[in-house]
Amino acid sequence: MMTPNELKQLAQEAVLQQPSLDWLKLPPQARETFAGLEIPSRKTETWKYSPLTPLLQQDYLSRAADVPAVDHQARKLLAELPAGHRLVFVNGRLQSSLSDFADLENQGIVTRFSEASDTQRQLINQHLGNAFPAREHVFAALNYSAVADGVLIHLPQDYQVQQPLQLVFLSSPTEQPGYGQSRVLLQAEAGAGLHLIEQYASLGVSDLFHNHVMEINLQDNARLIHERLQVEQENLIHINGLHINLGAGSHYEQHALAFGSALKRNDINLNFKGGNAYSRLNGVFLSKHRQHIDNHINLEHGVPHCNSDTLYKGFITGHSRAVFNGRIHIHPHAQKTAAHLNNRNLLLSQQAELDTKPELEIYADDVKCSHGASIGKLDESALFYFQSRGIDRAAAEAMLCLGFVNEMVAQFPTESVRTLGRARLMEFFNDVEQLKDLWSLE
């Protein structure tokens, strides 16, 4: 196993040596930022419960993961998705042959960084890296320091994209462990609207370290509906940063379903930059076997009159470990904020662990903020109710578990995404051996 320092050295010798786009003006010290950061350890507050062990066990950073020919398999998987504009990435790299966004490309709405026009380059230079402090996100800083390519989604003023836009990230088997870094910048000008479907899936077992960063800038009154499915296979290491700036009157709504993997980390960072903005974050995370999933949500209420509602549910079983951290930060003068965050968890196994930490940090007095967290087992009276009606205990337990999770999945706005999410959920639950273990532990 590597030490964190060896990992850092490797990152500097391999990943950071990859050429960046020459016109890209990284903010001063972008590379130095990574060099100056510590690889997180147990003592790093934001990584306290998520050891990087899986990342240290193999050499993921020496080479970028190769992209084998997977068209046939991929098409089968893509067929399950609703029709529409689609960007497909394999092991972190955008694959034109699988994608379908020619229309949007012609209109200048979707562009690869490498093919950006002068004005688009200017836009990228202006906005890339604005939505998060690189100092606090070491893997985003790593991603940032070597931008070989990326995707710019630029919605002009008042432009409404009619069909949902899909971002599909596939991981495929590779010969050797490797990394894939992907990057998306979404710039929605005032009054623009978009429905985004983001899906992460696997075409087989692979040793991939996927380091993804997406930045979203919603200008005044822009709207974004964001559906996210992270249903990859469990061998993968996936570190995901989603960083959003919310302009005045903007609206952001997220629905997420995520399964654990060897190490999965989701950072969501929301910055309220203009009044009357609203965000709703709905999410559900599940982990089993020896999976690990870590959710870090940070809501920066920097201006007055903004509202946020956050509800995350967790389902934890097997030998797995799940982490939730939700922070509401009300800056001085951000008066009239109403921010509510809730985390509810079902812990079902003697060997599993859940660590949750909802945080409030408040510097303004005229606000209404609350958070809640609960951890529990299945409700005995509900189980009794089922049994008194002739449904055996195992079936009753399965139904209650499904109901707990499905409550969140049912809120996905797109029917086909709901259906897909439920199908993946059933696969997760149908892992019969595991469920048997679970029930017998009573």
Partner 1 sequence: MSDDINALIRREYAAGFVTNIEAETLPPGLSEEVIAVISAKKREPEWMLEWRLEAYRKWREMQVPQWAHVKHPPVDFEAISYYSSPKSKDDAPKSLDEVDPEILDTFEKLGIPLHERAKLAGVAVDAVFDSVSIGTTFKEDLAKAGVIFCSISEAIRDYPELVKKYLGSVVPQNDNFYAALNSAVFSDGSFVYIPKNTRCPMELSTYFRINELNTGQFERTLIIADEGSQVSYLEGCTAPMRDENQLHAAVVELVALGNADIKYSTVQNWYPGDEDGKGGIYNFVTKRGVCDGPNAKISWTQVETGSAITWKYPSVVLRGDNSIGEFYSVALTNGYQQADTGTKMIHLGRNTKSTIISKGISAGHSSNAYRGLVRISPRAQGARNYTQCDSLLIGERCGAHTFPYIENKNPDAILEHEATTSKVSDDQLFLCRQRGIDEEKAVSMIVNGFCKEVFKELPMEFAVEAGKLLEVSLEGAVG
Binding site for partner 1 (CB under 8 A): 45, 49, 332-333, 335, 347-377, 441
115, 94, 259, 255: which is closest to 168 by C-alpha? 94
User: How far apart, in whole angstroms, are the C-alpha atoms of residue 187 and residue 149?
Assistant: 17
* Closest to partner 1 by CB, 366 or 433: 366
* Closest to partner 1 by CB, 376 or 390: 376
User: How far apart, in whole angstroms, are the C-alpha atoms of residue 119 and residue 104?
Assistant: 17
Shortest distance, position 320 Cβ to partner 1, whole Å? 12
Shortest distance, position 379 Cβ to partner 1, whole Å? 10
- Which H or E run includes 112? strand 110-112
Residue type, 100: D
Shortest distance, position 223 Cβ to partner 1, whole Å? 29
Let me know if 364 is exposed, middle or buried by CB neighbors in 10 A (0-12, 13-18, 19+). middle
314, 260, 317: which is closest to 435 by C-alpha? 317
What pairs with residue 239 in β-bridges?
211, 265
**What SS3 class is residue 285?**
strand
Which DSSP letter does residue 261 get? B
* Closest to partner 1 by CB, 357 or 422: 357
* Closest to partner 1 by CB, 332 or 403: 332
Shortest distance, position 38 Cβ to partner 1, whole Å? 14
User: How far apart, in whole angstroms, are the C-alpha atoms of residue 307 and residue 178?
Assistant: 41
User: Dihedral sign, CA of 116, 119, 120, 123?
Assistant: positive
> What stretches of 148-217 show up as alpha helix (H) in DSSP?
none
Shortest distance, position 356 Cβ to partner 1, whole Å? 5
Shortest distance, position 346 Cβ to partner 1, whole Å? 9
User: How far apart, in whole angstroms, are the C-alpha atoms of residue 435 and residue 429?
Assistant: 7
Shortest distance, position 54 Cβ to partner 1, whole Å? 20
* Closest to partner 1 by CB, 206 or 343: 343
* Closest to partner 1 by CB, 134 or 367: 367
> CB of 347 within 8 A of CB of 390?
no
* Closest to partner 1 by CB, 49 or 132: 49
